[in-house]
Structures are given as C-alpha cells and as structure tokens.
Chains A and B, each alone.
Chain A
C-alpha cells in the first residue's frame, strides 16, 4: 500500500521537538516503514522556534517533501508559522485547553495534552508523550510499537517509562474516541530490524568499526555529537577520547597519537577546521595518517551555527600552505557516511596522509532508516607497517625512504631496531632537517606520487538514471536524497534527466565526470553555496563548462520540489 506521509513537530527550543521526532521515526521504522526526518533549530537553549519534518514512506526515502499531513504543535507559534504548509485534509494536533485561536480551523484536532499528561502520566512534562499517542492514534497505527519505543527510551528509570506509556495511551485513546473521522491511516507494514540514525551516528559507528583508538575534539555544532558518542563508548571499546583546550591542540594531539601508531581522528566544523589548517599541513609533511571530519555550516565566521551549507568544498581541498596529497570524501547518505568513514581510515594509513570527511549539518542531523551495516564489508587496511622482524631485516630504518609509489614503509615508535624520526621542516629520508635543493625536490615528488595511488582508490561518482540524458544534474555530498527524488519526479513527467553525484571528491574523478557530461545536452550543478564551488572545481579539473547552476544559500536544505521548480525556470 502506497504511504507517503509527512509529520511535522514544532515548538520552542527545549520543548522536546527533536526527541518527539526521533520516537515517531523509530515507531514507524519498527513497523516496516522507511523514515526520513530533518531538524530545523536555532542556536539557543530555550525559546525561539524549532521544527522537524518526519516523512514516512512504504519504500526507501532520502528527503523530506513539502506538504505537511500532520502538524504536532507544542505551542501556538508553530501553528501560525506552518499552517500554510498543511494539505487540505491535514491535521493540526495541539493543546486545545491551553491554546486558543480566534478562528476555528477545520484542520484542528485539539487534544488536552497537558491535562492528559497530568491525569494519565502524573506529570505535565509528559505532554509530549500524549502528543505522540495522539499522532499515532489519528492514523490508527499500532499503539504497541509506540509503547515499545517509549519503554526502551526510558529504560532503567523506574516508573518513568510506564507513566509515559500511559500518558501516550491517553492521547491515543482520546483521538480514537473523538476523531475517528480523520480518515488517513497508516497500517503496520511488517516488522523490521532496520536502524534509524543520523549522519553523525553513522560516522561515529564507522570510526569505531574502523578501529579508531584516539579521538580528540572541541565542541562545535554540528559535529559535537560525534565527540560525545565516542566519549560515551570509550570505556567499552578501548579508545581514548579527549576534549582539549582548543582546536589547535586537537589537531596536534591527533597527529601525536597517529605518529605513535593509533588510528586517530577529530570532528569539527568550518571554524574549527580553520584553526586546524596548519596542523593539516604538518600531517602532510610528516606523512602522518589522520582523519578529520568537517561538518559544514553556513559561514563565514560564526555564520548560522545550526544550519546547512556546502560552502567549504574548495577550502578543504586546498587547505594549508604548500602542497601535499590528501583525500576528500563527502558522504551522500547516512549509510554512505558509515562506509566512507571506514574507507577514510584505510586511505589515511595506506597513503600516510590526511583524509577529510566533508559532512554538513543536514546530513549530520537528519534521521534516516538504514539496513544494519554489513560489518563484513569493513576491512582494516593499515598499509605498510613494519614488524620488529621486518625492521631487523633492513639496514638502518628511514622513515621517509623514497619509493616508487611514494609510500615509505612505516615503523612505529618503540619498535626495537628502528628509530622513527620526522620533521615539520623539509627533511631527508632519515627524517632530519635539510636545506638541499636536490633532496627537497625529491621529497616533493615523493609525496606527490602518493596522490596517484589515492586517485586509483577513489570511487566513481554515482549515476542515477540512464547513462546518457538530455539534462544532467550534478551534485555532491548530502544533496543526493533531494536530487534523486527530483530526478524521479522529472522523469515521471517525461523529462530526460539523470543525476551525476560525487561523494568521493578528491582526488577529482575527472575522467568519469567528463564522460558523463559529454553525454548530456545540458548540465546543471546543484549545490548549497553562493559561488558554485563544484561547478568551478569541475571546470578546473575537466575543462568542461556546465550550462547553469542551481544554488541555495539561505541555510536550509534543498527539497525535491524546489530543485524541480528551479530547473524548470532554467530550462524554459
């Protein structure tokens, strides 16, 4: 049965918008549905306006849609702000005993949220559970699945779980009694053991799966949850997680730990990354493997801390003075974020150089239903690390030995028989500081040769739709979901469109990009920045000029319909 239902929850910061969103999402995931939810919130602790859209579909979904079928309003302002987005048969659930409107709206499905919270749960704080029960009840979904999720959420807190379930039941029963006229139903589809998680969750899990043993981080939106998740798991999984005094300390600690032989990473945003840039060069020069997650948000400076942008692409690709190889991966989906993170650690260690995971606030915070990650697909490839026996066979160990591939065999400090010496200055094979023009040239070429190897390991861009089309949309990173759905919508309307999407961006996959663009009459780069950075990069790396750019830089993500609309404007 076709289901494509959008819930929206709205309220002030601190009212629990995000937790309602997550519980709702889990409840439908358990019943076999695919869920995609995004978060819109301000940079504050209380007050203001936050909202979340939760899309429930009977087939895989990677974007939210524009129309809202049910609005759960935790305050009056939410109704005022979002009323216009409701579909004609939509529903607005709100606390009818605490909020009054001048005009009764036919879409109102008032529920005494606070009263029921006190009567059934024992505390007005449970009004969110009442609202959840009401939402599930209106679409006549299985209450037991909601009860299950709430019980798990409050596990280990005594009677809190059962009180919340009772409060939710209160909301459920109220709407079943008074609002059976609502009409739209969502029946349980099946049972599923899919995960519901965010891009940040996926990256943190990917790091653990890849054997990350050292994580240093300084809190910065949107990447703080990665630091916190790993800190919470550090004891059980044998890693060290440190929050140092500033981001410069962070990057240098990561380098120290990696030099000693631990898989090491950090996660930050654009501003924090700026402070780490000199360190990035240090990793490149000393050939130390590090993984840096850069979760983009609108800049420059503080920008919009809790919003979305793809403004750091060219910055990250070129960051730090001087020249050295790196890889840049920009996950396209939550699932991709897990596997690319594991790949990042392998690339970093094999090629002994920094790898940047270019995330953004949208992917970091959206919830997506994903099949359980296939851990058998995760390989740990540490590159050429020498054992004590191997060290004994060689002559004197040289950390920066010149090789054809540019990769020097890597002994770790405290390996008997080897002394590991490296320097931030230009250095010789032994790692000692030099001035020589000849050695300098050799070392630059050696480091450069590594980039060829990385290029061979960079995955090809994703192609969605036919291999050749009249119009090719080009995107990168987290815009994959909205772009893919835009292509679906356009193709249903008879348009010959395909999507070329880059998630492994550097070294740039010029050959595939050129080939696909050659097959299109028109091409449009779609990205969340003002200057068209991918378009610029594409031109620089392939020589190809694209037809046009569809840009958005208001701090909000693309929706499929918005892309469709903009493309039609461009083409007409």
Chain B
C-alpha cells in the first residue's frame, strides 16, 4: 500500500501563499489514491516554478528545456508505455514556448496526463505577461496591456483532446479527484489548474477566483461527453469560471496505433544485429 510518506520530498522554493503548494499536495494524494509507487511514475517538467514541483516529491524526474515537457514526455511514454507519465509545466511552457507541441499533442492522444500551473504570468523571470494573461494585463513588457489570451480549454476541445479538465488550487479535494481521473483516463488528459501567484499576479488572486469558480459536478444536467455543451462551458470566463471535467471522450491512443497487438515495450526488446540479414539481401 502506497502512503503519503512515500511521496515526501524537499522543501519547495516557492513564495508563501503560492498556489503551487496545493497542486503538489493534490498530486501526491492522487498518486497515493491510485496506489502508484514512485518508481512507476515519470514526471516530466520544464522551466519556471511549476517545473520544480517534481523535485519536491518523489518519482522518476526528467526536467527539460522551457516549453519541451510534452515532446519529452511523449518520447518516454512511447519508449516505455508501462510508465505513468505526467507532464508538469506552467502556462508559459505549455501554451507559449511549447504551443506547437501542445497543438499537436491534442491530435495524437498519447496516454499521458499534463498538469498546467496556470497563473497567467511569468513569475520566475519577475512578472512578464504570459499567453493566458487577462486582456489589458499590464506588465513591464506589456505597458500597453496584454492582448487577447489563449483559451486552453477551447483550444484543447477543438484541437481534438479526449479529456479536458480545469482545476483550482483553492479547492484541493476537488483537484485530487480531477488529477486522479485525468491519470486514469486512457489518452491525453489536459488538467489546466488555476494557480494564483501572490507575488506577481495581483488581479487573479485566490479571492478573485473564489467569487467566480463553480463546479460542473454539482450540475446534474452537465454531460462532459457532449462536445457542444463542453464548448459552451469552455468559453465561460469572467464572472463565472467552471471547474471540473469539462470534456471527455474515448478514442484510440497513439500507443494503440503504434503497438496494435500489445507488443513488448521498446525498452525491453532484445537488440540483435543479425536480425537485419534479410534486409541486406534487398539491396543486392
């Protein structure tokens, strides 16, 4: 039986009151609830305070370059599908620097879970705008105010994602459920997590969010498999912000396509130079 202590890690280098603390606890609780031992988990992260999360818990960790969490996670998952692969990144790495990777990951449906610490600002580099900053958000690089933001939820649904959820660092119990379901989902699961940054984002604070978020699970009529319904929730932002599983569907994963008969993981296969002897004949 896996326990919380199995996932105990170092002291985070985060500011007091940072939304990341809640995400760290929620992830650890989810992994314990799923009875996953740390050695079975691979966390892939990139740059920023979000990217440090894996170091504050336990598991296999591949920390990469800014924006490159998804391709590295995908490469690892393809090489060894038996790993539970979890991407951990910020909104900058996921939707800006790594935007192209995000767009195409939606198409392939790799069986990985991607947690986005969405604080709408580049905090580690001291407060520049991010792809999800609210319009008009003033920073040193956007004195004129930020433009229209990326809406990762609508993008994900339109782009073909098979599971889209939004969480809030101010509701840890809800977040645990969400992350657990994302990991359990067979396919690409995007968990966009509203994460207040007390140091740099003076607009989208815990209080600001608490006035606006509401849980989709509390609406019995909500059907996350209905794409049009999901889209109408995805465009909701401002006075009301829905959290929970926004969209979900079952479809084959990229692994199903690559390894149709449940072949042995690439990393376990025998390497034999003589296996190519018939190929040499083809060039004669």
Binding site for B on A (CB under 8 A): 29-30, 193-197, 201, 205, 208-211, 213-214, 216, 233, 237-240, 242, 244-246, 248-250, 252-264, 278-279, 282, 286, 342, 372-373, 375, 378-380, 412-425, 431-433
Contacts and interface: CB of A to CB of B under 8 A. Distances in A.
A196 B284 CA distance: 6
| B: interface residue count bin | 35 or more
A359 B189 CA distance: 40
Interface string B96-109: 00001101100000
Contacts of A372: 280, 284
A196 B283 CA distance: 6
Given A214-B78, A253-B74, A433-B52, A260 B83 contact: yes
A113 to B, nearest CB: 28
9 contacts: A197-B283, A240-B258, A245-B104, A256-B44, A259-B72, A260-B79, A264-B79, A413-B60, A421-B54
Contacts of A244: 71, 101, 104
Nearest to A263: B271
A414 B40 contact: yes
Contacts of B104: 244-245, 249
B269 to A, nearest CB: 5
Contacts of B83: 260, 413-414
Interface stretch (B61-69, B146-154, B233-241): B61-69
Contacts of B73: 256
B278 to A, nearest CB: 9
10 nearest interchain CB pairs? A256-B75, A211-B271, A253-B75, A252-B71, A256-B72, A260-B79, A261-B267, A195-B283, A262-B79, A378-B273
B62 A422 contact: yes
B262 interface: no
B284 A194 contact: yes
A379 B258 CA distance: 28
Contacts of A279: 65, 68
Most B CB atoms within 10 A — which of A194, A209, A380?
A209
A421 B60 contact: yes
Contacts of A416: 39
A290 B34 CA distance: 33
Given A372-B280, A378-B273, A414-B39, A419 B60 contact: yes
Interface in B185-216: none
Interface string B268-284: 01011111110110011
A235 to B, nearest CB: 9
B71 A249 contact: yes
Given A248-B68, A253-B74, A213 B273 contact: no
B159 interface: no
Contact of A248 (B58, B71, B75): B71
Interface string B31-59: 00000001110101011000010110011
A8 B63 CA distance: 54
Nearest to B107: A245
B10 interface: yes
B61 A256 contact: no
B76 interface: yes
B266 A238 contact: yes
Contacts of B271: 210-211, 213, 263, 380
B1 interface: no
Nearest to A397: B39
B82 interface: yes
A205 B280 contact: yes
A249 B79 CA distance: 15
B180 interface: no
B61 A421 contact: yes
B80 interface: yes
A208 B284 contact: no
B280 A256 contact: no
Given A233-B279, A413-B42, A414-B39, A214 B75 contact: yes
A414 B267 CA distance: 10
Nearest to A342: B273
A420 B54 CA distance: 12
Nearest to B56: A432
B49 to A, nearest CB: 12
B112 to A, nearest CB: 10
Contact of B76 (A29, A256, A431): A256
Contacts of A259: 62, 72, 75-76
Contacts of A422: 61-63
Contacts of A197: 283
B40 A205 contact: no
Max chain B C-beta neighbours (<10 A), residue from A201, A209, A248, A253 = A253
Contacts of B284: 29-30, 193-196, 372
Interface string B126-167: 000000000000000000000000000000000000000000
Given A213-B266, A214-B266, A257 B63 contact: no
B80 A195 contact: no
Contacts of A415: 39
Contacts of A242: 78
Nearest to A379: B273
Contact of A423 (B61, B78, B264, B266): B61
A259 to B, nearest CB: 5
Nearest to B72: A256
Contacts of A193: 284
A375 B274 contact: yes
Contact of A256 (B47, B74, B103): B74
A256 B63 contact: no
Given A263-B271, A264-B75, A208 B276 contact: yes
Nearest to A254: B75
A252 B283 contact: no
A262 B74 contact: no
Given A213-B79, A282-B68, 7 more contacts: A240-B259, A256-B76, A257-B75, A259-B76, A372-B280, A413-B76, A419-B59
Contact of B62 (A210, A254, A256): A256
Contacts of A424: 46-47, 63-65
B39 A245 contact: no
Most buried by B among A245, A264, A286, A413: A413
Contacts of A420: 60-61
A415 B264 CA distance: 16
A205 B62 contact: no
B114 to A, nearest CB: 14
B76 A240 contact: no
